[in-house]
Amino acid sequence: MVLFAEGVVAFLLLVKIGPLRELVIKSLDQLKMGKGPATVKTIACTMSVILLSSFISIVKIQNKGVKLGTMSPMDQVLWRTHLLEASLMGFTLFLGFIIDRMHHYLSKLIGLRSNVGASKEEVDRLQKETMQLKEKEDKSSQEIKQLQEKISTLSEDLKKLKLECKEKDKNIETAEAHVAALQKQAADLLLEYDRLLEDNQNLQTQSLATSSHFLAMA
């Protein structure tokens, strides 16, 4: 009965039939929790002792038969009984070991699949973020190009303004020099005018003096 149950469990672990595999895995998970592992180990140790005892009995019966040269019907029955017990115990322990290993690796496989699913979601999220960053980068590149064009235009305008300022500065310097020359010329003219006024006054004075002299002589 135990051997049949183990065979069914091993079959369900090997072949996926609807939700039965998940149900068996969950049942084994619960069995390995709490006192389950200790109970299973105790049963396995007991079966191992029985298996070892059966092997010892088989060896003793065979040695007895070798010494006597033949085996009695009773020994043959006992030998076959112990052999059957050993075979059943051996297959039971072997299937138990196979079920334990299958459960272990299937649990790992399920965990890996879950991790792979989570990793795929993470990769998809990172790809979306990468696309968004790329779009932002393209947009930023376009804005940078526009700003560079504006900066180039402003630089050209600034150069033009500098040239215009230089030309205006030259014109201002020329005008200032012209004004200074005119001021100097005006000052010279004023001096000449003052000199002419002084000469005129002197001439008038001399003329009056001469007129007075002539009048006195007359």
* Residues whose CB is less than 8 angstroms from the CB of residue 13 and which lie 6 or more positions away in sequence, other chains included: 21, 24, 25, 99, 102, 103, 106
pLDDT of residue 3: 61
pTM over 0.85: no
How many distinct structural domains can be found in the chain? 1
Average pLDDT, the chain: 80
Q: 31-35, 85-89, 120-124: which range is least confident on average?
A: 31-35
Domain that holds residue 142: 2-146
pLDDT of residue 199: 84
For residue 193, being part of any structural domain is answered with: no
For residue 159, being part of any structural domain is answered with: no
Residue 116 predicted with pLDDT over 60: yes
For residue 52, being part of any structural domain is answered with: yes
For residue 181, being part of any structural domain is answered with: no
C-alpha pair distances (Å), 214 with each of 200, 203, 211, 217 = 21, 16, 5, 5
Residue 35 backbone dihedrals phi, psi, to 5 degrees: -90, 0
- Output 8 or 74, whichever has higher pLDDT: 74
Tokens standing for residue 24: 């068996």
pLDDT of residue 4: 64
Average pLDDT, stretch 27-34?
72
Please tell me the distance from the alpha carbon of residue 45 to that of residue 82, in angstroms, as a whole number: 18
